[in-house]
Amino acid sequence: MIDIPGKYGSLRSEKKARNRLASSRVLLIGLGALGTVAADQMVRAGVGFLRIIDRDFVELSNLQRQSLFDEEDIQKNLPKAIAAEGKLRTRQFLGSN
């Protein structure tokens, strides 16, 4: 592989960083306002394995600050972790990460 310098480092170091992210494992406890954003960003960044723990259910009062959830999650009476899993898997397979 040719080492080509880029704005923030070489292509080799960027590939190494992507591989390191892809092999990483993260435990995220809580899907409040910060947790939903963190989960979304970790999936988009390419974290290889994300385990989410939150025992609460999605409620209407959550929607204004918890970006992963919508009214459909409330209608289905989904726990936050299950609702987030569905949304994050969809984003991952659509190539948003």
Whether 1 shows a pLDDT value over 70: the answer reads no
Inform me whether the pLDDT recorded for 91 exceeds 80. no
What's the chain look like in SS3?
Answer: CCCCECCCCEHHHHHHHHHHHHCCEEEEECCCHHHHHHHHHHHHHCCCEEEEECCCECCHHHCCCCCCCCHHHHHCCCEHHHHHHHHHHHHHHCCCC
Domains of the chain and any CATH numbers: 11-93 (3.50.50.80)
With vertex at residue 97, the alpha carbon angle to CA 75 and CA 57, rounded to the nearest 5 degrees, is: 25
> What tens digit of pLDDT does each residue of 12-51 get?
778 888 898 899 999 999 999 999 999 999 999 999 999 9
| Percent with pLDDT over 90 in the chain | 65
Structure pTM?
0.78
Over residues 2-20, mean pLDDT: 69
